Structure 1
Amino acid sequence: MTSTSSFVIVLGFDGSTHSHKALKWALDEAGRRNGELRLITAWSKPPMSWYPAVLETAAGEIVAEDSPERIAERLQADALKAAASEGIAATGQAVHADSAASAILDAAKDADLVIVGSRGHGGFPGLHLGSVSTQVIDHAPCPVLVVR
């Protein structure tokens, strides 16, 4: 539990369908508890391992694909706008980390609740629980809510 009077909720948000459902739940929970929301979006591509795809649009314009960092920042901005529209106090971090679970757990050290989607963008669609959710459940210093 935190030492402040505000109820702190950490949300792992990667833009997946499950994380959007988790965001909706987190906004509702923060509203009910007069709490604050900490949004964490992790990205992990080393600088030299990503090369932008160059695409041609239907209008003949050449555009470059966004970097993983830029995508994470855009996801954060969209989630923060959703929080603001609900009147929820929220902060966000787009974190460069090798492990999304570690980034979430670091943010949760003084949290009252962690909320994650049951799975993200991982490559095993048949799994009911993804690796990040599993690691967060196993190591979180506070209660964890997993949203399907």
Structure 2
Amino acid sequence: MTNCLICKHGLADYVDLANDNELPKVSPIRIPPKDILRRQSSLNRLAMAYRAKEIPRRKILDFVSEHVTVFHGTFLFNGHVVILDDVDDLFDLDASERWLSDFLRFAVHPPRQQAQDRVAVRLALLWAALAVHNPTQAELVIR
């Protein structure tokens, strides 16, 4: 195994040295359990992350859909592979997307209780898109 001169780690741990024609291997994104996503602190930080991006509420679904479908890896939830292909059906919102406005409001006014179980899928999708866009920020949301 060839060691990196800078960090002294084995290069074979990070890249496939024998064949450079393959796409780089992308590690799977592990979606946190719904109990973690539903916590008041996680909901507040997730809303702050999206509010900081200054995306209008009607464009948030486009952002989520774009990042989830562009990701070439897999999403894992409780050890099982999850396919996130139809964001609109999973969100199941009305045409005004009022829920997203209420969600973004949690960045300014933290929630008083944890999120309901019925919105856990929406929170998981929002978190997954954030994890694709900025993995470090996504980890800070659930800390």
Question: If the TM-score is normalised by the length of the shorter chain, which range does it land in?
Answer: under 0.3
Higher relative strand content: 1
What TM-score, normalized to structure 2? 0.25
Bigger relative contact order, structure 1 or 2 (CA pairs below 8 A, ≥6 apart): 2
What TM-score, normalized to structure 1? 0.25
Greater Rg over alpha carbons, structure:
2
